[in-house]
Amino acid sequence: MQKRLCIFIMLIGIFLIVPNVTASDNSCIDCHKTISPFIEIEKQFNQIRVEHLEKNVSCSLECHEDRVRQLATANYQQWSESVHALNGVTCDVCHGGDPKQADKNASHKNMVKRTDPESPVYYTNVPTTCGKCHSKELATFQNSKHYQKLEALKLAPTCTTCHAPHSFKVLDPEEFRNFCGNCHSVYKKVAPYDVPVRAEYLMGGVNKLIFNIDMANQDIFWAKKNGTDVTQAQKYADDALATYRGLAVLWHEFNLTHFEDELDRGNAQIKRAEDIVKPQVPSPTATKANATPGFTGIFTIISMVAVLYLMRRNRD
């Protein structure tokens, strides 16, 4: 009994320490941490219900109510663990509405469904909505072919294609193959087909670059301790770090060739820094192995021993 009580108290504690980044009068958080509309899922379940009724199978949404509630509540849970939550970016920033109103109708006034082209989270409007905060990423994205297709009202990646709504996580390198492969594949007939593999490779290269920058800065620290002038090496390392920081924004252009050129530039800068603080040490020259005495050498040694033996015997 005590064990169950402890677990219950821990769960309550975890719930209470969810980032409290909003004002107390933000009605979005007050409601959506309990339940939020999950329109597409509700439509799917309703369609299942209709199909069941057509076949004279008794069915109601009560069967799926728990599943709907879990998925809807997940919106709040995902947001509460995101960087947006930590920075106070609440529901109304993206969805609109009036978070100061406690009444449901008043707080949702002038809001439209996300499937409405007027909605700020309609797929073609998402870049503009995100760009209110992420202006550099938007400017770069607008130079991409993805954006051009999006503007032409065609199916194309938008911000929430890679950064899932409400969690907004940055993909790991190994995730790019699957995400990019959803479109760039022989089966979907979207060229170039090597994009998924190249994207994964380049993202791995970014991680390697920041690792090399960290290692170079450590070498610079110790070289400076030993009295070495590291001024130029530090400048190269700082330039490499600046290049690295620009890669995240540049990625949204989706020009892999340009991105790879910048990645190579960062690697070249950090190599210059390392060349200063870790001078190339000449490789040890391979010493020539002693030749094993052949038949002639062995015969000579035996002969000398025999001569010395005979000379000593004659003296005796």
**Domain residue spans of the chain:** 1-90, 112-168, 195-277
Q: What is the pLDDT of residues 291-310, one digit of tens each?
A: 555 555 665 666 665 656 66
187 band by pLDDT with thresholds 50, 70 and 90: confident
Say how far residue 55 (Cα) sits from the centre of its chain: 47
| Nearest of 95, 96, 94, 147 to residue 124 by alpha carbon | 147
CA neighbours within 13 Å on the CB side: how many for 74?
Answer: 11
pLDDT of residue 149 exceeding 60:
yes
| pLDDT at site 8 | 45
pLDDT of residue 153 exceeding 70:
yes
| pLDDT at site 119 | 93
Q: What is the pLDDT of residues 52-102, one digit of tens each?
A: 656 655 555 455 555 555 555 677 888 888 889 888 899 899 999 998 888
pLDDT over 70, % of the chain: 66
Model-wide pTM > 0.75:
no
Instruction: Specify the higher pLDDT residue, 264 or 24.
Output: 264
pLDDT of residue 196 exceeding 70:
yes
Task: Determine the Cα–Cα distance for residues 212 and 162; give it in Å rounded to an integer.
Answer: 27
